[in-house]
Amino acid sequence: MNVSFDSDPTPGARLVETGCVSLIGMAGAGKSTLGRLLAEKLGWAHLDTDRLIESYYGLPLQALLDGMGLADFLKAEETLVSMLGVRRAVISTGGSVIYGPAAMERLKLLGPVVHLSISLETFLGRVGDAGNRGLAIAPGLTREDLYRERQPLYEAAADHTLSTDTTDRMANVEALYAWLTQEPDA
C-alpha cells in the first residue's frame, strides 16, 4: 500500500507510512485547522484529542473542566492520549497535553511532534478571554502566565517548531509538509 503524497517523500524522510504527526502548542496556534489540512494533503486521518475527550465523556471540554477540576481533567487527558493506537494520522492535541508525561511519550513514539508556535500577542488576540473554550488554566494564573509557563515545555518536547503567527494556512501546511518530507539531517 502506498501513501498518497503529492510527491513521494525522499528516502529517510521524517514521515513514514505507518507513523503519525502530532501537533502541539497553545490554544489558537492552529493545531486543529492545520491538522485537518495536513491530513487531507497526506491522505491520512485527522484526530483531534479535544474532540476525542469530549466523545469519550459525552461532554464539552469546558463542562469537563468545570466538573472534574483541572487536576482530574489533565489526568484524564493524559490517560486517553497515552493509550492512542493509531497510524497514518495527524494528531491535533489540546494545548494542555504537554503536562502529561505519558501522553507526550506516546506521541513521540507515534512519530514527529511539531510545536505550532505563536507569539503572546497572537495568542491573546486569537483566544480572547477564553470563554467556554476549555482552556486548562490553574486558578490565579493569567493567560499570559499560562503562555509563559507552557512555552519551554513545548520547545523541549518538539522535534520541530513552526511559527503560525501568519494566517496563511496553506503556506503553513506547505512549510510543515516540506519539513516532514526532507532528509532528517537536512
User: Secondary structure of the chain in the HEC alphabet?
Assistant: CCCCCCCCCCCCCCCCCCCEEEEECCCCCCHHHHHHHHHHHHCCEEEEHHHHHHHHHCCCHHHHHHHHCHHHHHHHHHHHHHCCCCCCEEEECCHHHHHCHHHHHHHHHHCCEEEEECCHHHHHHHHCCCCCCCCCCCCCCCHHHHHHHHHHHHHHHCCEEEECCCCCHHHHHHHHHHHHCCCCCC
Domain ranges of the chain: 20-180
Domain 20-180 has CATH 3.20.20.390: no
Per the listing, cell 503536562 goes with: 99
User: Which residue's C-alpha cell is 519551554?
Assistant: 152
- The reported pTM is 0.90
pLDDT of residue 4: 38
How far is it, in rounded angstroms, from Cα 105 to Cα 132? 29
Report the pLDDT value the prediction gives residue 1, as an integer from 0 to 100.
Answer: 34
What is the pLDDT, as a whole number, of residue 3?
A: 39
pLDDT of residue 5: 39
Burial of 184 (0-12, 13-18, 19+ CB in 10 A): exposed
pLDDT lower than 50: segments of the chain: 1-12
- Cβ atoms within 10 Å, residue 131: 9
Residue 167 and residue 121 in contact, taking contact as beta carbons nearer than 8 Å: no
| pLDDT for position 131 | 67
